[in-house]
A and B are shown apart, each in its own frame.
Chain A
């Protein structure tokens, strides 16, 4: 997959950071405002996809190796599962151990923000890995054969 024109690349430099920041905001504020881990994770993945579409697959493979994606995906899954197992210490699976805190504050609602972060990490890296596998990695294999 080749990159797009100079105008697209120039504008992408400014917009991709904002989209990533918006995704992180949606993930972190999932327990206060609409959104949450899944939607925010998809927005994070879309910011990376935006980058790949503008700059082409080769530059993306250099800047973001495959190992990073698999580590992020597995780390998110393990993190989410360990939050559930942490609840076993208090009584049952997925028990909200940490204090509920004051509502409408960023640090409230016990384990819910942590679960949101885990799911956001998992969804973001997982969907981006699917996109890379469908578009960029396939291209690399075709070139490697020749």
Chain B
């Protein structure tokens, strides 16, 4: 448990640094440090699948994608600190903490989950699907509908990005009425 708290403190410090930095790239790298902390936490909790995905997506894709788009737009963040921002922050933080305390009070204790559905998966996944990795057998066999939804989301987002960033088919506003230019 102690190492989890150490990693959690690291993530808190990194996120505080990410908010307070001015350069956008350094800020993004600090967010990547938060993702690294989450990855280590998944490893400590014995979830290597999540750790791999977290490491690859959170750190590399976030940093690289933002690095790829940086330099064309804003690269620095301009602060406007005022009393109102702090007041709004404290109100929302207090509301969030109160709602979290109310809703997390009834959850099962840490390390003692309710094993209703997952117990069935753990007992029967190997013989029913033949996959040694239970996570994969849940994702691609028992709950393949969810994965199909995720694939649809990714497909739609790729189509959206390509449609917004396309180079062909774009016309200037004054040429739009002409048939073919």
A67 at the interface (CB under 8 A from B): no
The answer to whether A133 and B155 touch (CB under 8 A), given A31-B136, A46-B64, A116-B140, is no
Task: Chain B residues near A37: list those with CB within 8 A.
Answer: 140
Residue of A nearest to B141 (CB): A96
Complex CA–CA separation, A1 to B162 (angstroms) = 18
Contact B167 A30 (CB under 8 A): no
Complex CA–CA separation, A126 to B157 (angstroms) = 9
Task: Chain B residues near A43: list those with CB within 8 A.
Answer: 56
Name B residues whose Cβ lies closer than 8 Å to a Cβ of A: 48-49, 51-53, 56-57, 60-61, 64-65, 68-69, 72, 126-133, 135-137, 139-141, 144-145, 147-148, 150-151, 154-155, 157-158, 161-162, 165-167, 170
Tally of contacts, chain A with chain B, CB under 8 A: 149
The answer to whether A80 and B151 touch (CB under 8 A), given A46-B60, A101-B130, A138-B165, is yes
Number of interface residues of A (CB under 8 A): 56
0/1 interface trace, chain A 79-118, chain B, CB 8 Å (1 if under): 0110010000000011010011111100011111001100
Q: Which of B145, B154, B170 has a CB less than 8 Å from the CB of A123?
A: B154
